Amino acid sequence: MQSTSTQAGPVQIKVICGAEIGPYVADLARLRISVFRAFPYLYEGNLDYERDYISRYSASPRSLFVLALDGERVVGVATGVPLADEAESFRRPFEEAGHAIEDIFYFGESVLLPQYRGQGLGVRFFAERERHAKALGLSVCAFCAVERDEDHPRRPADYVPLIGFWHKRGYSHTPQLRTQLSWKDIGEDSESLKPLSFWLRTLA
């Protein structure tokens, strides 16, 4: 699939696939470390790990990056890849539950700098990935989100979860589909396992 670009106010949306992703791996690594440092992920990342983790997207010709560009600066990225091309930790819950993973498109991260939020870019991130999934002939989109206790000591008083936004996009929480990922929280001495559960939408 060829890359495309459209304008969304002052921010340009650029859609790229497969090997085209390579030049933007470092941008996504930077954004993941910045955005996921906030609650609920509290992620203490490093660029070397990030570049290695993200590079798997460029290995799949069916993967997708949706870039938000302010001039030449990458201010947001949303990613996706067919679940069949994803890591085992994401495939396994679906395989064990009897889902046909070849029908599912998996949304990776959706990261956007705070000053660019509230302009409809998050909606575009979802729409472009769903459009790509349909073009590939896939019928279900899925993503997972970390679970944190309501009384987590680092939960900001003004924190608003994205549950309402996801519901508006047509996604349903499917808590029986679960996985665990390991990362180091801010202030932790070592990595620890974090629980994540999945959200799904069947495309019309």
Domain ranges of the chain: 4-202
Q: What is the pLDDT of residue 1?
A: 46
Nearest-angstrom CA–CA distance, 202 and 187: 39
Nearest-angstrom CA–CA distance, 59 and 44: 26
Nearest-angstrom CA–CA distance, 155 and 152: 5
Burial of residue 126 (number of CB atoms within 10 Å: 0-12, 13-18, 19+) = buried
Give the containing element (helix H, strand E) for 13: strand 11-17
At the topology level, CATH places domain 4-202 in Aminopeptidase (3.40.630)
Q: Tokens 């790990």 correspond to what residue?
A: 49
Tens of pLDDT, residue by residue over 3-23, are: 566 655 689 999 999 999 999
Percent of the chain with pLDDT over 90: 85
pTM: 0.92
Torsion sign over Cα 82, 88, 93, 98? positive
Nearest-angstrom CA–CA distance, 103 and 95: 12
Tens of pLDDT, residue by residue over 28-59, are: 999 999 999 999 999 998 888 888 888 888 88
- Helices H / strands E in the chain, number of each: 5, 8
Task: Say if residues 101 and 84 touch (Cβ distance below 8 Å).
Answer: yes
Residue 108 has pLDDT above 50, yes or no: yes
Q: Which residues contact 186 (CB under 8 A, 6 or more apart)?
A: 37, 42, 43, 44, 154
